[in-house]
Structure 1
Amino acid sequence: MRLFELLLTLSCFVLLIDLLFVTRNAKKTDMALGIGSSILFVVQLAVEGYRWQMLLIYGLTGLFILIILFKHAKKRMAIKIGKPLRYSIASFIVILLALSVCLMVYLPVFHLPKPDGAEKVGTQTFHFTDSSRDEVLTEEQSDKRELMVQIWYPTENRDNNKSEFLFPKDKEMFKKYIQTYSNSLNLPDFVFDYWKYSKTNSYENVEILPSTSPYPVVLLSHGMGTSRFLHASQAENLASHGYIVVTIDHTYSTFATIFPDGSVTDYRTKMKTVDERRKIGKIWTQDVEFVIDQIEKLNSGAIESQFQGKIDLNHMGAMGHSFGGATAFNTTYLDNRIKAGINMDGSLYEVENRDVINKPFMFIRSGVFKAWLEEFKNNTDPDNEVIKQLSDELQIMKNVINHQGNVIYIEGTQHFNFADLQFYSPLIKLTGITGDINGSRGSLIVNQYVLDFFNKHLKGTGGNLIQGPNDRYPEVKFIEPREL
């Protein structure tokens, strides 16, 4: 709960006690409470903003203030309430207050955790069109592949700008954005309206921090059906440690992607078969390769920007979650421009001719990986295509370990502990898509191992955490080749 939300809730409770259980006629006290609550009401709306989870608090506060005014009017009717009715009314109102508090606590206005690097973080968004590729996920034959790309980078923030909101600031754009989510989930639009208050730790369109040498770059792909917004905290953390991070929205594979003209694309991806997975995987891989081309143009000045000469193209990494993690592996394998990569809990969609990888790579798996591994070994069926693919994937992991790479899993995590969804609501944990681990703790661990890996392989520093078990992070378990 935000500060003035909490204060307004407490004042509402105090008004309830005063009206029902203070028997003496204390006009000054009543009026002081009414005025104080009115001020809190106005301040909360003006400073923090309305959100629907507070509707019961708003309504009860307004009702209590009106009762106080009526109670002390010159001409009033004396209304006596017996104890049974008084306690019944109080109990009912307390239940309403508790319901409102639960809505505020379990559907909170969340902010991204602060990055732990030394630098402030800037961000800038680009709209790229690949004129060489037709868009195959729409019915319009003239459509070309369009991507929204957000870049995060170190900054001084000389103008002392305020940190940015996570979602689009423009009201119409934001409305279209949440409508796409609500339509996909068959929920009313207002359910997601409070997302407009969620803030990042980044500053939009500020100047990049001057440096004597260019910054290494990491490309980051989201999971299937999510978006780049769900990996903003990971991007911010890397940027605060001196990286340029490029997050990609893979169009039509997100719940919603909003473009500069106000248009919003929804989810249109089909992946019912292995072949369909490979087809989409190829599109995503081409997306990453195209974005690398644009990064090169930004660095050379072919695309005018502040990033000219600031990007270290010789030290480039790729990472992703779920399907984006599989894309990070595939792109790392195929594109020589990428020097190291990380797959966060993603099953590979392409395993043929991928058995030997000669670059540093790290698989970070969720806490169920070890149990899944044991179950898989006990149910091997060489004639089953899925089992064969999984067997090939394990062989790839074994080869990764043998080529300066790592395979680790984090106890207590589930699939979406590798994205920012765990910060949106405590209710997420009840669905089982995040694990028992505290969300902030899980995020910290992932960020530390991602940073340590890229520090070693892109900067030539660090690498202590990925050497083996560490007492600071007992949740992290390392897989040996003999276990695969």
Structure 2
Amino acid sequence: MRVGRAVRVLTDENREELLKNTGEKRKIIVSIFYPSDEDIKENQKGFYIDLFTPCEEEFIKKFAGKKNMAGQQVDETYLRSIKTNTFNNIEISKREILYPVVIFSPGLGMDKDCLIYNIEKLVSEGFIVFTLGHIYETDFTILPSGEVLNKIDRIDDFTFEEKEQLIEIRKEDILFLIEELKVLNSKDEMIKGKLDLDKIGIIGHSLGGSAVFNAAKEDIRIKAVVMLDGSLQHFDLVKDIEEGKRMTTPFLNFRRGSIDYNEEMKKTIEFNESRTDGEEFKKRIIGRNKTLIGQIEGQKQLYEYLSDYKSFIKLKHSEHLTFTDWPVIYNQEFENNILSIKEAHVIISEITVRFFKEFLCGMRGSYNEFIDSGRCPLICSINKNGEVVNIKGGAVC
């Protein structure tokens, strides 16, 4: 099965653009990924660079010449050769069925389609995926017209409070898209009549993880949540917990492999001591300390706040960006010289699909039986403190 992709630009007439003083209403750019049975010749390939149509060279400018974790430069020829199974604007499948919907919000600065490995797996398993481009905080956003919108100045140095404003804006973007799904399902010629609006799941990475959590708190139309190494330091649930408020939406908290405070601080110091000094070094260490402590506390609060099904797991040897396409773009074969990126992406995709199949589509046991079986020893169950607990199948990290 081929994956089709269409891009839409939506405008929320009820909100002003807050990140940039344009005087315009808030715009949201969305990629729609859907199944297609269009007959595409075997020699016709999809390429990653096509995700940046009609300004593909912006992708090359962004990554060519950059160095990966092994210190190797990313070659332009390699970037142009990365293959996908996705094709722009091909016809949607003619099957007379409704497709459950998954909405994705990326990490800060990341392109909306930066989990193409996961998106393609979801579509191949019968989902339609909407990815959200949060304009002016993504490194660059390409509109269908060919206009390129760059991120605002100093967003990489945003304070903790400013990032919380971004989370709020993203939450509103998500809620607006959910409302717009009804319009798209009735009027958009590509996907008209194809969306099962009673089955809406949501997935977020990093800052996007905080955004999807906040959206799920407010909108009961969201039936299942997957958070990929979310920014737990922005969770403040103390008051809600004290007031007896809880979330009953099934929730998967999928973390990177290393979540130990001492280990993470050691890595941060080693990474920065050869790159910065003086006040900049101090600033980064203090910032990382605050983030890690916030993540530890945020995980404890989240665990208590979720009162229905919750699964807290981690993927051994993985890092924050393992959950994205960045290791592929940077031509990086392994994480920590141990975990194959290809293997990691297969596992993450399998876990994500199984979770949505069970808790969004009602396929009982699809997720739980897989986790409990211990068939994937790289997956560890963790408790609210991030400590590893035994899996029923006997696999222990």
TM (norm. structure 2) is 0.78
> Does structure 1 residue 128 correspond to structure 2 residue 30?
no
> Does structure 1 residue 143 correspond to structure 2 residue 24?
yes
CA distance in 2, matches of 1:298, 1:146: 16
> Does structure 1 residue 336 correspond to structure 2 residue 239?
no
Specify the SS of the correspondent of 1:229. coil
Query: Kindly tell me: are residues 197 and 398 of structure 1, through their superposed partners in 2, closer, same or farther at Cα, counting changes over 3 Å?
Result: same
Quote the residue 2:271 is aligned against.
Answer: none
CA distance in 1, matches of 2:313, 2:53: 43
> Does structure 1 residue 155 correspond to structure 2 residue 36?
yes
Quote the residue 1:236 is aligned against.
Answer: 120
Kept in 1: contact 2:51–2:113 (CA 8 A) = no
Query: Alpha-carbon deviations, 1:391-446, whole Å to 9, x = none?
Result: 551233323664111000011111111011121234585xx7x6731101110111
Specify the SS of the correspondent of 1:422. helix
Specify the SS of the correspondent of 2:345. helix
Considering only CA atoms, is the larger Rg found in Structure 1 or Structure 2? 1
CA distance in 1, matches of 2:333, 2:148: 26
CA distance in 2, matches of 1:401, 1:250: 27
Shift of 1:168: 4.1
Among all aligned residue pairs of Structure 1 and Structure 2, give the percentage whose two residues are the same amino acid.
27
Quote the residue 2:261 is aligned against.
Answer: 372
> Does structure 1 residue 458 correspond to structure 2 residue 360?
yes
Kept in 2: contact 1:177–1:264 (CA 8 A) = no
Shift of 1:197: 3.5
CA distance in 2, matches of 1:240, 1:293: 25
Query: Kindly tell me: are residues 365 and 171 of structure 1, through their superposed partners in 2, closer, same or farther at Cα, counting changes over 3 Å?
Result: closer
Q: How does 1:290-309 map to 2 (within 5 A)?
A: 290-301=176-187, 304-309=188-193
CA distance in 1, matches of 2:123, 2:264: 39
Give unpaired runs (5+ residues) of structure 1: 1-118, 377-383
Shift of 1:170: 8.5
CA distance in 1, matches of 2:372, 2:341: 21
- Of 236, 239, 262, which aligns to 1:351? 236
Higher helix share: 1
CA distance in 2, matches of 1:318, 1:182: 32
TM (norm. structure 1) is 0.65
Kept in 2: contact 1:455–1:463 (CA 8 A) = no
- Of 393, 409, 427, which aligns to 2:298? 393
Specify the SS of the correspondent of 1:150. strand
Larger RCO, structure (CA 8 Å, separation 6 or more):
2
Kept in 2: contact 1:238–1:245 (CA 8 A) = yes
CA distance in 2, matches of 1:136, 1:171: 27
Query: Alpha-carbon deviations, 1:175-232, whole Å to 9, x = none?
Result: 34544567999xxxx9647533333102322222234431100001111111123211
Query: Alpha-carbon deviations, 1:235-254, whole Å to 9, x = none?
Result: 11100000000111111221
Query: Kindly tell me: are residues 297 and 266 of structure 1, through their superposed partners in 2, closer, same or farther at Cα, counting changes over 3 Å?
Result: same
Give unpaired runs (5+ residues) of structure 2: 68-73, 266-288, 388-397
Kept in 1: contact 2:323–2:345 (CA 8 A) = yes
Q: How does 1:248-327 map to 2 (within 5 A)?
A: 248-268=132-152, 269=155, 272-301=158-187, 304-327=188-211
Kept in 2: contact 1:270–1:276 (CA 8 A) = no
Quote the residue 1:477 is aligned against.
Answer: 380
CA distance in 1, matches of 2:331, 2:94: 40
For 1:451, the aligned partner's letter is V
Query: Kindly tell me: are residues 171 and 317 of structure 1, through their superposed partners in 2, closer, same or farther at Cα, counting changes over 3 Å?
Result: closer
CA distance in 1, matches of 2:353, 2:337: 22
- Of 325, 330, 348, which aligns to 1:446? 348
